Amino acid sequence: MKPSGGRTTPRNVVPWGVRLLEQASSYLPLLLMAMLALGSWWLVKNTPLPDAPRAAAPLRHEPDYMMSQFLVRRFGADGAMRAQIEGDMMRHYPDTDTLEIDNPRIRAIAPDGRVTLANARLAVANGDGSEVQLQGGAQVVREGSGTQEPVEFRGEFLHAFLDSERVRSHLPVTVRRGGAELQAQAMEYDHLDRVVQLKGRVTASFPANPRP
């Protein structure tokens, strides 16, 4: 039986929805988090160090350097731009070795030319770039191409673990493609095992089928 238009049905398992969420989780948030981690690593490694060593002092949770209105671009071996990361303000905290970026805006370009965009109110990355969080109005959009419709991910929190290739959110997430929409109260995606766990109440809605 095909789903009727406008009907929303809670389920524990939504095969179509799982496929949609897997698409968004595999090539959207993980790609964007990787780009953000690489860009953050670049900023840390290329920040000038003081000329003379400073005396050791107890660390407080205060930034040791900041950058405003910054923009970082990364290029592939072929010279083509692969990612662009910009933000209003970046702060590095030495006590926790973390980076905070206000209003991060990320643009990633796949080898096939398709563009992925992401933004949030705040991005937080640890010093080695192995974990990145997007906080507050996180949005990731994979632009459409040809017959493929855009895929959009929205949520208030997204946590990516780059080493283990996992993406997690303990807050509600929404995935949209065309007229279809999937919602879950929490999500965990393991890219290595290609396993999506949808937690809490899961709902899916589908566009109405055109009548003959």
Q: What is the CATH number of the domain that holds 187?
A: 2.60.450.10
**Residue 103 clears pLDDT 50, i.e. is over it:** yes
Residues 110-140: tens digit of each pLDDT: 777 878 788 899 988 776 666 778 899 988 7
DSSP 50: P
Residue 66: CB atoms within 10 A of its CB come to 11
CA of residue 204 relative to chain centroid, distance: 22
Question: What pLDDT was estimated at residue 49?
Answer: 53
In a domain, 69, yes or no: yes
Question: What pLDDT was estimated at residue 12?
Answer: 45
**Residue 95 clears pLDDT 90, i.e. is over it:** no
In a domain, 161, yes or no: yes
Question: What pLDDT was estimated at residue 7?
Answer: 45
- Total domains in the chain come to 1
Residue 104: CB atoms within 10 A of its CB come to 26
- Whether 183 and 172 have beta carbons less than 8 Å apart is answered as yes
Question: What pLDDT was estimated at residue 102?
Answer: 94
Identify the band that residue 171 occupies on the pLDDT scale cut at 50, 70 and 90: very high
The overall average pLDDT reported for the chain is: 73
In a domain, 5, yes or no: no
Can you read off the two tokens belonging to residue 157?
């929190």
Gyration radius from the chain CA atoms:
19
Residues 67-76: tens digit of each pLDDT: 899 887 777 7
Question: What pLDDT was estimated at residue 16?
Answer: 45
In a domain, 48, yes or no: no
Identify the band that residue 3 occupies on the pLDDT scale cut at 50, 70 and 90: very low
Question: What pLDDT was estimated at residue 139?
Answer: 85
DSSP secondary structure of 159-211: EEETTTTEEEESS-EEEEETTEEEEESEEEEETTTTEEEEES-EEEE-PPPPP
| Dist. CA 171–CA 183, nearest whole Å | 11
Question: What pLDDT was estimated at residue 27?
Answer: 47
Domain hosting residue 148, numbered range? 16-43+63-205
In a domain, 106, yes or no: yes
